[in-house]
């Protein structure tokens, strides 16, 4: 379980408060989709969880232990993809496995190959990131996180640079891998539809400084025809009503 307890984050030497009293209790295997207006601190929240940004109050625990890259495997897909420009696509994908000292055996290589194939980046494996389009870089970053099989997966608008059809295919692939690996996931998105399609829960944040307005159960997650169900329409309407009321003050 990931527990975020009373977390505040400040920037600029404690001058500007970015996040106020964030509390989340995320059971293992849940997907929390986070929606919030631009600049409300969503990326900052993922950075605080992954240890890239310090928090001034509260605590963040993963399985009852203070979260840290030393004790946990944290998969992060940042907004800028975080690829090393001097390494090939394949070496970028291998990087976190090497850092974690994981054995790269035949099974690992087959798994990497399958994931690259599904993400349609296998032919790009010897390319360098600066030769790739935004959508291709995004798929490499996704592959890298998926092969790591992390304790927790943090994704900052992971599908935003993909065309509509590729996005739907990769959302599908994400759900398949999530089911196989039961990965606890936090996902930031600006798309209400994506939050409903992927989230087991949907978190709505306030304008800056960011706090949590509400956490909704998402009944659509368990449904077969997710994109076209009546439940989808109902929860989308509910989310839009909350956004209209809370974001336009």
Ligand X SMILES: Nc1ncnc2c1ncn2[C@@H]1O[C@H](COP(=O)(O)OP(=O)(O)OP(=O)(O)O)[C@@H](O)[C@H]1O
- Taking the complex as a whole, the smallest distance from the CB of residue 112 to ligand X amounts, in Å, to 29
Looking at the Cβ atoms of 177 and 202, the one nearer to ligand X is 202
Sheet holding 65-66, edge to edge: 16-26, 2-11, 57-62, 65-66
Chain centroid offset of residue 10 CA: 22
Alpha-carbon gap, residue 32 to 35, rounded angstroms: 10
Looking at the Cβ atoms of 35 and 216, the one nearer to ligand X is 35
Q: Which residues bind ligand X (CB under 6 A)?
A: 11-12, 18, 36, 38-44, 208
- Taking the complex as a whole, the smallest distance from the CB of residue 20 to ligand X amounts, in Å, to 12
Neighbours of 117 (CB within 10 A): 12
- Taking the complex as a whole, the smallest distance from the CB of residue 246 to ligand X amounts, in Å, to 15
Q: Are 7 and 57 in contact (CB under 8 A)?
A: yes
Ramachandran quadrant class, 192 (left: phi over 0; alpha: psi -120 to 50; beta: rest): alpha
Looking at the Cβ atoms of 10 and 178, the one nearer to ligand X is 10
Neighbours of 53 (CB within 10 A): 18
Looking at the Cβ atoms of 39 and 134, the one nearer to ligand X is 39
Measured between alpha carbons, how far is residue 244 from residues 183, 203, 207, 220 in Å? 32, 15, 12, 22
How would you write 206-228 as a 3-class SS string? CCCCECEEEEEECHHHHCCCHHH
Measured between alpha carbons, how far is residue 121 from residues 44, 59, 117, 147 in Å? 29, 38, 6, 14
- Taking the complex as a whole, the smallest distance from the CB of residue 3 to ligand X amounts, in Å, to 21
Looking at the Cβ atoms of 40 and 212, the one nearer to ligand X is 40
Looking at the Cβ atoms of 115 and 156, the one nearer to ligand X is 156
- Taking the complex as a whole, the smallest distance from the CB of residue 160 to ligand X amounts, in Å, to 10
Q: Are 36 and 240 in contact (CB under 8 A)?
A: no
- Taking the complex as a whole, the smallest distance from the CB of residue 164 to ligand X amounts, in Å, to 20
């Amino acid at each position: 379980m990931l527990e975020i307890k009373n977390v505040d984050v400040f920037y600029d030497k404690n001058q500007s408060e970015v996040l106020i009293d964030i509390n989340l209790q995320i059971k293992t295997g849940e997907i929390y989709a986070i929606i919030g207006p631009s600049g409300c601190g969503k990326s900052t929240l993922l950075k605080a969880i992954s240890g890239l940004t310090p928090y001034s109050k509260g605590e963040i625990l993963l399985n009852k232990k203070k979260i840290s890259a030393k004790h946990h495997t944290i998969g992060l897909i940042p907004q800028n993809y975080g690829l090393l420009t001097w390494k090939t696509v394949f070496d970028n994908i291998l990087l976190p496995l090497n850092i974690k000292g994981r054995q790269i055996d035949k099974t690992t290589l087959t798994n990497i190959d399958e994931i690259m194939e599904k993400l349609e980046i296998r032919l790009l494996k010897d390319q360098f990131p600066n030769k790739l389009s935004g959508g291709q870089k995004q798929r490499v970053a996704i592959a890298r996180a998926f092969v790591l099989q992390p304790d927790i997966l943090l994704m900052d608008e992971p599908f935003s640079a993909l065309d509509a059809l590729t996005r739907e295919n990769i959302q599908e692939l994400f759900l398949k891998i999530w089911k196989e690996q039961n990965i606890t996931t936090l996902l930031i998105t600006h798309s209400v539809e994506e939050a409903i399609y992927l989230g087991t829960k949907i978190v709505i944040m306030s304008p800056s400084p960011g706090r949590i307005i509400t956490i909704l159960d998402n009944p659509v997650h368990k449904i077969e025809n997710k994109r076209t169900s009546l439940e989808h329409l109902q929860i989308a309407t509910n989310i839009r009503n909350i956004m209209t009321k809370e974001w336009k003050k």
